[in-house]
Chains A and B, each alone.
Chain A
Amino acid sequence: MELSSLNILFIGAAALLGIGMYGMLVSHNLIKIVVAIQILVKSALLAMISAGLARDEIQLSQSLALTVIVADTIVAVIGIALAVQVRRRIGTLDVRELSKLKG
């Protein structure tokens, strides 16, 4: 089966998505979960640029990717600020303990 470069790129994006989700499934530290979210967004960026490559509209996809980078950075910033606050107020970064639902 001959895989073109485009296929490799998209498979890479899918794999990064998988790794990001895996990170969210397995991590217990809040900051590591923010790292996993960052990996997810990088996979989306890769997919976006590759799609632009496939349709020969790289400029358009670059503009969209720029917006995504900005938004994702804000998400990282706010996520980290929240993690810091959680650590200060509640005292723990362990996701397993940050749940008040009685279940």
Chain B
Amino acid sequence: MAVLCVSLCICLPWIGSIAVWRCGNAHSKLQHSVASVFAVATGVMSLLLLLNPAETPVVRIPMGDFFGELTLVPDGLGIILAIIASVVGSLAVVFSIDYMHGDPQLGRYYALILFFIGAMSGLGLSGSMLLMFFFWEITAFCSYALISFHNDDPKAVSGGVKALIVTQFGGIGLLIGALIIRSYTGSYQIGDFLETAPALESGLLSAIGFGFLLAAMAKSAQFPLHTWLPDAMEAPTPVTALIHAATMVNAGVYLLARFFPAFEAVAGWKTSVMLVGLLSALLAALMATRSDDIKRALAYSTISQLGYMIYAVGIGGIFASMFHLLSHAVFKALLFLGAGAVIQATGTRDMRRMGNLSKKMPFVHATFMIGCFALAGLPLANGFFSKELILEFGLQRGPQWVFLCMLAGAGLTAWYTLRIYTMTFRGQSGEIHVVNPAPPAMKTSLAILAAGVLTTWLFAAGFSALLADSLPYHNVHVTTNISLIHEIIRAPLTYVALLVIVAGGACWQFRDRVVKKFRIPARVTQFVESGYGIDIPYTAVVRITQRASRLLRDAHSGQLNLNVAGISAALCILLTLLLAGV
């Protein structure tokens, strides 16, 4: 039964992807229905995984000595990732029924989304590092293909290529780590590695650890490899909600959480993880306060929240980190889908041209407000509980100065959240005419996600029990709902955090007075807005590659004599090398 569930979680969306493609672009209604059916079926299948979690591999495919065994393990981490991918994926697909209405290339769109959903479930469920790398690369490809989905738009294409290059650069770290593990322990299995990790020499272990950290930084868009995520906002909004908010960017956090017990002991690893999380959280929050494009602001917010999750992993709070991952997936998808509804209705992404939409789009306004509550960390939304849990862990276990910075980050979060909300939904009407309020399919997805935001924190107890039972190497803190609520209500930290959040909101409200008090030179704001200059090495690499290839064109002369000269010279060099070896 478990075998069936696990394999279907991966194969069902892949079959759906082929089915949608074969439908043909002429029958768009059929494509919409087929895609939704397969996506929802996958969602249901992934929820069924909760029935039999396992510690040991459930599916084993032997691939000979060289590739080891390809295994699938439905343990806590894997199940949660698969559930998020499938359920949020199905909601995004339902949303796309109305968002992508009338698009001429639906086959490609749905096929890629379904392909991605299957690959993401596989990434979480795989127990062999080689299989995980395989799924990792598939998600990177799907992300690139979906970002540059409108391939007649040069900005979309360059955004897709940038995403591909940066995440692949990180993927090198993952591959090298996996190969080192294979050569020193003889197996690709994650379980075996976690068991034998203390026996490896520390130099090797640090190499693997930092390689994995590099891969996680690239995939989760952490500082300094974060520049691809804002440029990836050229993708259609359901794609952004699914890939760049809820699932693929979580792969980095998942990677670090999965391998945490192995690298705990490596000197400086936990500190680096914490620092990466801290820097991303703060710097991205700063950039979110300056952005006028609604999707870019939400993208910076994603980077910032991922920073929180990575910080939590760094201090050892695996449960807190994964709990916030779950909450963030739900509320960020909600915010992005809401933004998508707004973008479709108003025709623009620029928040300065929007305003007073609360009257014209009441449903979207309500759900967006719930999402904002969660993002800012206000009570009753799941974001509140998970963020408080992270901050408490931080206070108990981590260094104090890092904790204070993260607390300040919570204030910044409230600032930009309120900013996004007021610029879009409050204030005076912009120059936009709202064409029509949200169509029913969009409303369904938004409603389900809003309900999720208000209720997923109730699963905290079950979730922590699941993690504790199925992860033998991690020490997971088990909690029940009541104790969680008690903890949070009693801790003074909660009230301090709420105060900071309110202060952040107030800063935005009274921003004129705040700005007058602290005069920031224009150069600094420019530096912040341009991404702290991180884009410079990227454009430099691209330019150098293009120039080098233009120089090498001279070698392709097509002259036979020159080619033969090349062959003879190579022969001489080969003979010299052989002589030198002998």
Q: Is the CB of A99 within 8 A of B561?
A: no
User: Which one of B95-103, B401-409, B524-532, B552-560 contacts A?
Assistant: B552-560
Q: Is the CB of B568 within 8 A of A101?
A: no
Enumerate chain B residues within 8 angstroms of A24, measured Cβ to Cβ: 560-561, 564
The reply to whether the CB of B565 lies closer than 8 angstroms to some CB of chain A is yes
Enumerate chain B residues within 8 angstroms of A99, measured Cβ to Cβ: 557-560
Q: Is the CB of A95 within 8 A of B568?
A: no
Q: What 0/1 pattern do residues 539 to 561 of B give for CB contact below 8 A with A?
A: 00000000000000110111111
Q: Is the CB of B559 within 8 A of A21?
A: no
The distance in angstroms between the C-alpha atoms of A98 and B559, with both chains bound, is 8
The distance in angstroms between the C-alpha atoms of A95 and B561, with both chains bound, is 8
Q: Is the CB of B560 within 8 A of A33?
A: yes
B553, B558, B561, B571: the one contacting A25 at CB < 8 Å is: B561
Given A103-B553, A103-B554, CB of A96 within 8 Å of CB of B565:
no
Q: What 0/1 pattern do residues 67 to 90 of A give for CB contact below 8 A with B?
A: 000000000000000000000000
Enumerate chain B residues within 8 angstroms of A96, measured Cβ to Cβ: 559, 561
The distance in angstroms between the C-alpha atoms of A26 and B559, with both chains bound, is 12
User: Nearest A residue to B567 by beta-carbon distance?
Assistant: A21
The distance in angstroms between the C-alpha atoms of A91 and B557, with both chains bound, is 21
The distance in angstroms between the C-alpha atoms of A101 and B567, with both chains bound, is 19
The distance in angstroms between the C-alpha atoms of A71 and B545, with both chains bound, is 43
Enumerate chain A residues within 8 angstroms of B558, measured Cβ to Cβ: 99-101, 103
User: Nearest B residue to A98 by beta-carbon distance?
Assistant: B560
Q: Is the CB of B564 within 8 A of A25?
A: yes
The distance in angstroms between the C-alpha atoms of A28 and B495, with both chains bound, is 88
Q: What 0/1 pattern do residues 8 to 34 of A give for CB contact below 8 A with B?
A: 000000000000010011111000010
Enumerate chain B residues within 8 angstroms of A28, measured Cβ to Cβ: 561
Q: Is the CB of B565 within 8 A of A101?
A: no
The distance in angstroms between the C-alpha atoms of A101 and B564, with both chains bound, is 16
Q: Is the CB of A26 within 8 A of B561?
A: yes
Q: Is the CB of B554 within 8 A of A95?
A: no
User: Nearest B residue to A100 by beta-carbon distance?
Assistant: B558
Enumerate chain B residues within 8 angstroms of A101, measured Cβ to Cβ: 556-558
The distance in angstroms between the C-alpha atoms of A25 and B558, with both chains bound, is 14
User: Nearest B residue to A96 by beta-carbon distance?
Assistant: B559
The distance in angstroms between the C-alpha atoms of A92 and B558, with both chains bound, is 16
Q: What 0/1 pattern do residues 199 to 238 of B give for CB contact below 8 A with A?
A: 0000000000000000000000000000000000000000
The distance in angstroms between the C-alpha atoms of A98 and B562, with both chains bound, is 13
Enumerate chain A residues within 8 angstroms of B553, measured Cβ to Cβ: 102-103
User: Nearest A residue to B571 by beta-carbon distance?
Assistant: A21
The distance in angstroms between the C-alpha atoms of A35 and B277, with both chains bound, is 69
Q: Is the CB of A25 within 8 A of B568?
A: yes
Enumerate chain B residues within 8 angstroms of A25, measured Cβ to Cβ: 561, 564-565, 568
The distance in angstroms between the C-alpha atoms of A26 and B560, with both chains bound, is 10
Q: Is the CB of A95 within 8 A of B560?
A: yes
The distance in angstroms between the C-alpha atoms of A8 and B340, with both chains bound, is 82
Q: Which residues of chain B from 499 to 558 have any CB-CB distance to chain A below 8 Å in the complex?
A: 553-554, 556-558
Enumerate chain B residues within 8 angstroms of A27, measured Cβ to Cβ: 561
User: Nearest A residue to B559 by beta-carbon distance?
Assistant: A99
User: Nearest A residue to B556 by beta-carbon distance?
Assistant: A101
Q: Quote the shortest CB–CB distance from A43 to chain B (angstroms).
A: 13
Q: What 0/1 pattern do residues 470 to 486 of B give for CB contact below 8 A with A?
A: 00000000000000000
Q: Is the CB of B554 within 8 A of A21?
A: no
The distance in angstroms between the C-alpha atoms of A103 and B554, with both chains bound, is 5
The distance in angstroms between the C-alpha atoms of A101 and B554, with both chains bound, is 10
Enumerate chain A residues within 8 angstroms of B564, measured Cβ to Cβ: 21, 24-25
Enumerate chain A residues within 8 angstroms of B565, measured Cβ to Cβ: 25
Q: Quote the shortest CB–CB distance from B563 to chain A (angstroms).
A: 9
Q: Quote the shortest CB–CB distance from B330 to chain A (angstroms).
A: 56
User: Nearest B residue to A103 by beta-carbon distance?
Assistant: B557
The distance in angstroms between the C-alpha atoms of A37 and B561, with both chains bound, is 13
* Chain B CB within 10 Å, residue with most, of A26, A33, A95, A103: A103
Q: Quote the shortest CB–CB distance from A27 to chain B (angstroms).
A: 8
Given A101-B556, A103-B553, A103-B556, CB of A21 within 8 Å of CB of B561:
no
User: Nearest B residue to A102 by beta-carbon distance?
Assistant: B553
Enumerate chain A residues within 8 angstroms of B554, measured Cβ to Cβ: 103
The distance in angstroms between the C-alpha atoms of A42 and B560, with both chains bound, is 21
The distance in angstroms between the C-alpha atoms of A103 and B562, with both chains bound, is 12
Q: Which residues of chain B from 259 to 283 have any CB-CB distance to chain A below 8 Å in the complex?
A: none
User: Nearest B residue to A30 by beta-carbon distance?
Assistant: B560
User: Nearest B residue to A33 by beta-carbon distance?
Assistant: B560
The distance in angstroms between the C-alpha atoms of A17 and B416, with both chains bound, is 75
Q: Quote the shortest CB–CB distance from A60 to chain B (angstroms).
A: 26
User: Nearest B residue to A22 by beta-carbon distance?
Assistant: B568
The distance in angstroms between the C-alpha atoms of A74 and B150, with both chains bound, is 52
Q: Quote the shortest CB–CB distance from B101 to chain A (angstroms).
A: 46
* Chain A CB within 10 Å, residue with most, of B554, B558, B568: B558
The distance in angstroms between the C-alpha atoms of A65 and B568, with both chains bound, is 24
Enumerate chain A residues within 8 angstroms of B559, measured Cβ to Cβ: 95-96, 99
Q: Is the CB of B560 within 8 A of A21?
A: no
The distance in angstroms between the C-alpha atoms of A77 and B45, with both chains bound, is 65
The distance in angstroms between the C-alpha atoms of A33 and B568, with both chains bound, is 15
The distance in angstroms between the C-alpha atoms of A96 and B554, with both chains bound, is 16
The distance in angstroms between the C-alpha atoms of A9 and B99, with both chains bound, is 79
Q: Quote the shortest CB–CB distance from B553 to chain A (angstroms).
A: 7
Enumerate chain B residues within 8 angstroms of A33, measured Cβ to Cβ: 560
Q: Quote the shortest CB–CB distance from B569 to chain A (angstroms).
A: 10
* Chain A CB within 10 Å, residue with most, of B559, B560, B567, B571: B560
User: Nearest B residue to A95 by beta-carbon distance?
Assistant: B560
The distance in angstroms between the C-alpha atoms of A101 and B556, with both chains bound, is 7
Enumerate chain A residues within 8 angstroms of B567, measured Cβ to Cβ: 21
Q: Quote the shortest CB–CB distance from A40 to chain B (angstroms).
A: 11
The distance in angstroms between the C-alpha atoms of A21 and B569, with both chains bound, is 11
Q: Quote the shortest CB–CB distance from B370 to chain A (angstroms).
A: 61
A-B contact pairs, 8 of them (CB 8 A): A21-B564, A25-B561, A25-B565, A33-B560, A96-B561, A99-B558, A103-B554, A103-B556
**Ordered nearest first, which 9 A-B pairs have the shortest CB separation?**
A99-B558, A101-B558, A24-B564, A103-B557, A95-B560, A21-B568, A25-B564, A101-B556, A99-B559
Given contacts A95-B559, A99-B558, 11 further A-B contacts (CB under 8 A): A21-B568, A21-B571, A24-B561, A25-B561, A27-B561, A28-B561, A99-B560, A100-B558, A101-B557, A102-B553, A103-B554
